[in-house]
Amino acid sequence: MAQARVAVKEGAEQQPSHAAIDNGNPANFKPKYLVLDDINIDLITVGVTTCTLISIFAFHLPAVVAILVAATIILPLRIFFPRPTTPQGLALITGASSGIGAELSYIFAERGHDLILVGRNEDQLDAVRSNVEKKYGKIAYTIASDLSLPGAAKQLYDRVKNEGFTVDILVNGAGLGAAGETLEQSAELAERMTTLNCIALVQLTQLFGKDMVRRGRGWILQISSVGGWMVSPGQNIYHATKHYVRAFSEALSIELRGYPGVVNTQLMPGPTHTQFVTRAHAEETFMMAASGAMEDPKSVALAGYNGLCKGKRMVFSSWNAAGTALMMHLAPRSVHLTIASLMNSPLRGMVRMNEPEKDQRVRGSDL
Ligand SMILES: NC(=O)c1ccc[n+]([C@@H]2O[C@H](COP(=O)([O-])OP(=O)(O)OC[C@H]3O[C@@H](n4cnc5c(N)ncnc54)[C@H](OP(=O)(O)O)[C@@H]3O)[C@@H](O)[C@H]2O)c1
């Protein structure tokens, strides 16, 4: 007991917040609770529903009356609030050279946005740029950048600033997966995956997010994954990175309550028919090849765009994706782990996913 008191006293003398400042962390907190955002509306919905059930079953209130009262409180909130503004201004999209990121580029261009397209494959970035300019008449700039390298996110930000661009919309779409057993994968692959999927995403959010907060408006779309709800033997590191993204993005949405003009939405795609699957060597896994859950990248991208417009903190690409996440969230861990390992198991050539379209040049005609 005496020792515990000494520890507290020493802690108090050391001024932990000052120690934090010395370590480069200003340790500022600006929590806000009384905001009519989708988190509080969900909270009110849960609270009112629980009270309604209690009043019906414990206090025998007539069900019709209780439900009518609940609906009068919940429905206007869910229909009319929150009312975020539709995204406006220049959009920077990472992972724009293919798949979901390319589809988002077309969606933003169609809605009137100029774009900065980021990826490594310059040829494919140019093809997306040319599609955007020909079909939608919007300006698209391309920047080739390998965001899996340390410091690349900051370099990208500096370059965009130096060239005088103001980014109003940030889409963190670039991502890399890898099927296979953890100990068989190289340390270098693990480093690239975590740097790209986690560190670059966080740093770009911080750097562009601070500017958005200063201007009082901005929209951030994080491309996460249903993998963020699954512990996945056979795709361990990738799904662990998506747990990171899910946690980061949800907490950020709460922190951004203090800045009403800035929206942060995360999109949770299920298995989607893109090069991601072949790049991750996951085309023979049950989840990709035989589960029947494969989604079209265009509809996945649209779900993300619509979620951003509505100011949602999280959107799923489909009911199937939402159902999978819910099931994995609620299942006992033993069931969860068994299902996840079956979903990620290779079918050894029995069935393979069809090769997705690689070339954005051929997308031009059917946009
Ligand atoms: N497909 C799925 O089943 C699925 C499911 C859930 C979530 N997701 C997520 O969705 C996002 C988009 O993936 P996708 O399905 O559209 O796959 P994709 O077609 O392979 O797109 C991935 C994008 O990321 C870019 N990228 C990869 N490594 C990069 C690096 N080191 N630096 C910069 N850019 C890099 C790629 O461009 P370059 O090759 O030009 O660099 C490409 O534009 C990813 O975050 C992924 O985790 C995908």
Tens digit of each residue's pLDDT (9 = 90 or more) over 239-289: 999 999 999 999 999 999 989 899 999 999 999 999 998 888 888 888 887
**Does residue 238 have an active-site annotation?**
yes
Q: Whose CA is nearest to atom 42 of ligand 1?
A: 95
- Token reading at 284: 């023979």
**For residues 67 and 4, what is the distance between their CA atoms, to the nearest angstrom?**
52
Q: What is the mean pLDDT for each group of 10 consecutive residues in the chain (367 residues)?
A: 46 59 75 88 96 96 96 93 87 98 98 98 97 97 98 98 98 96 96 98 98 96 97 94 98 92 96 91 82 90 96 95 96 95 83 82 81
**For residues 334 and 269, what is the distance between their CA atoms, to the nearest angstrom?**
24
- Token reading at 104: 């988002």
Catalytic choice (242, 298, 305, 312): 242
Q: Whose CA is nearest to atom 45 of ligand 1?
A: 175
Atom of ligand 1 minimally distant from the CA of 267 = 7
Cβ neighbours of residue 340 under 8 Å, at least 6 residues apart? 230, 231, 232, 233, 328
Q: Whose CA is nearest to atom 43 of ligand 1?
A: 95
- Token reading at 132: 């955007």
Which of 94, 238, 276, 320 has most ligand 1 atoms within 8 Å of CB, for mutation? Answer: 276
**Does residue 242 have an active-site annotation?**
yes
| Per-residue confidence (pLDDT) for residue 234, from 0 to 100 | 92
The residue to which tokens 């992972």 are assigned = 95
| Per-residue confidence (pLDDT) for residue 14, from 0 to 100 | 55
**For residues 241 and 234, what is the distance between their CA atoms, to the nearest angstrom?**
14
